[in-house]
Chains A and B, each alone.
Chain A
């Protein structure tokens, strides 16, 4: 049971999306776990074959309990023994790791593979060990590329971003070329189809896929379910345990949500010496630019001011790294990417704070669509585990609720939380004259153990500067 956020002590298995014998890849959704706050899609930390499902549907177990055993595949020996990523765990988010590069030792390979590869290695004169930067490692992780099997084309055999992306593309091609033979190869199933299959109790191995590359689609699953209505009286029966487990009533959910928030926020205020700074930012340029841009666009492509604010918050966090990371083991460990946690209030009460990965690198349109996607999935209980554990700094935007400013409570073990209030028109003195301009109050709550108010001030100044140059965001 992974810790899906610092506020989680236990979880309930709502649904298994795999069964013993299934092949899984790192990052595949394998189970749905119910936490105090929400149902969450949990990804596999390994590539391999599911050996056994240890925890049954409906069982509630503490964080750290074994949920299932997965045998890592031989052909891919390098999938590192990834610990579930959770800020609470000692091994978790990017340990203060080596600053420049990392030596990857050669890993044992099956004999047959090794022989073949030896020839290639000899022919290409690859060095014995390669240097891989943290960024590249991260990219490889995202794309599910096995670094140990990569030969770098960079200087001194260094693995470059291009190498990783090429390998990912090749792997995809291989998968696409494979004939759909469920017995041998992994059945390709869309996530939605998998979910529906689990709901209807349909065995995916018996479903013929009609999607691209033989992938099983939701329609295929429904068709298969309709074919065996009499023979399998199971739909209801199969559904029952999941339904029972899911039957956390609205009242219970509201209570457990409040308790989870309460525990985490109490811990934050108990342990973290918060300091606060605030600033008032002129939004004239940003809003004019936004308005001009939106004028030419379809509704679905329009940006809201929050997108600019989030992008500025992410870029500023990259510029001021002392606020972007975790306080662990009595010291600050900076994160090597900016994963922007976004406070999303649920319509029924309570909140979730999923992360927008690599927010500082996203174009505004992309950031906007991620934001919309996260809000929809957060409210539907469809967030992924990694989204709830990866945030390196959090932003709360209360502008839509009409308040002028918000001073937040930091999410441990993060060290900073930025807040945005409502964009309002105010009399502002500019160049000795008073005019009416749209302004927004930006705030920062930060951990005094990790930084001083001077750092916080620089962060808010940076945000203000960025918002004066919206075209560069």
Chain B
């Protein structure tokens, strides 16, 4: 995944999981769980969508990499 594709995938996943969030308000360093109020089920779905889009296995140990849009994009783009 290119960084652009990763960014796009993250935005789409968020739009599905938290439809009330305005993507424009999102900064690269917004904490997805605390900042957007995603609960553990929302977050699981977020991971699920990203995994599907990127074709990348995302283990539980990788969850910390998905804390913010910036870190998630970096992780999906293969660091």
Contacts and interface: CB of A to CB of B under 8 A. Distances in A.
A305 B40 contact: yes
Contacts of A141: none
Contacts of B40: 304-306, 399-400
B35 to A, nearest CB: 11
Chain A CB within 10 A, most for which of B18, B38, B45, B58: B45
Given A291-B60, A347-B20, A348-B20, A299 B39 contact: no
B60 A295 contact: yes
Contacts, number: 36
Contact of B41 (A295, A299, A372): A372
B10 to A, nearest CB: 15
Interface in A365-381: 371-372, 375
Chain A CB within 10 A, most for which of B20, B39, B51, B58: B39
Contact of A302 (B33, B39, B44): B44
Q: Is the interface of B mostly helix, strand, loop or mixed?
A: helix
Contacts of B37: 347, 401
Interface residues of A, number: 18
Contacts of B18: 347
Contacts of A401: 37, 39
B48 A371 contact: no
B73 interface: no
A300 interface: yes
A435 B33 CA distance: 27
A185 interface: no
Nearest to B46: A299
Contacts of B24: none
Contact of B39 (A294, A295, A300, A400): A400
Given A299-B51, A300-B48, A347-B18, A294 B60 contact: yes
